[in-house]
């Protein structure tokens, strides 16, 4: 299954126009793996799961809640936590 990460979920960690250097790519890879893992662990009646992602400490915040939803039958969508 493909995983798409909305830029708004990680925009304050990854500059918009930059080369995908190793630290950024490893963060994206980790988010992708976590999204798939938590999605697969959900109960079948859930259509959204939330997980806590460790973020690079050099940018201030150490953790962030991210949400995973199913965009279509082959794609998961990762977004930042919605305001309540």
Q: Residue 79: exposed, middle, or buried by beta-carbon count in 10 A (0-12, 13-18, 19+)?
A: middle
Domain extent, residue 59, equals 2-80
Residue bearing tokens 């909305």: 6
Q: What is the pLDDT of residue 71?
A: 93
Q: What is the pLDDT of residue 83?
A: 47
pLDDT tens readout for residues 13-71: 766 656 656 667 888 899 999 999 999 999 999 999 999 998 876 656 678 899 999 99
Domain count, the chain: 1
**pLDDT bucket at 81, cuts 50 / 70 / 90:** low
- Angle 40-42-46 (CA atoms, 0-180°, nearest 5)? 125
Are the beta carbons of 81 and 8 closer than 8 angstroms?
A: no
How many CB atoms lie under 10 A from the CB of residue 14? Answer: 19
The pLDDT of 63-82, averaged and rounded, is 90
The pTM score is 0.80
Q: What is the pLDDT of residue 84?
A: 44
Count how many residues are written for the chain: 84
């Amino acid at each position: 299954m493909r995983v798409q990460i909305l830029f708004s979920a990680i925009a304050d960690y990854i500059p918009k126009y930059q080369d995908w250097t190793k630290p950024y790519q490893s963060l994206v890879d980790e988010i992708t793996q976590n999204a798939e893992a938590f999605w697969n662990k959900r109960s079948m009646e859930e259509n959204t799961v939330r997980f806590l992602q460790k973020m690079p400490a050099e940018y201030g915040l150490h953790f962030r809640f991210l949400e995973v939803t199913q965009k279509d039958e082959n794609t998961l969508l990762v977004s930042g936590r919605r305001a309540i």
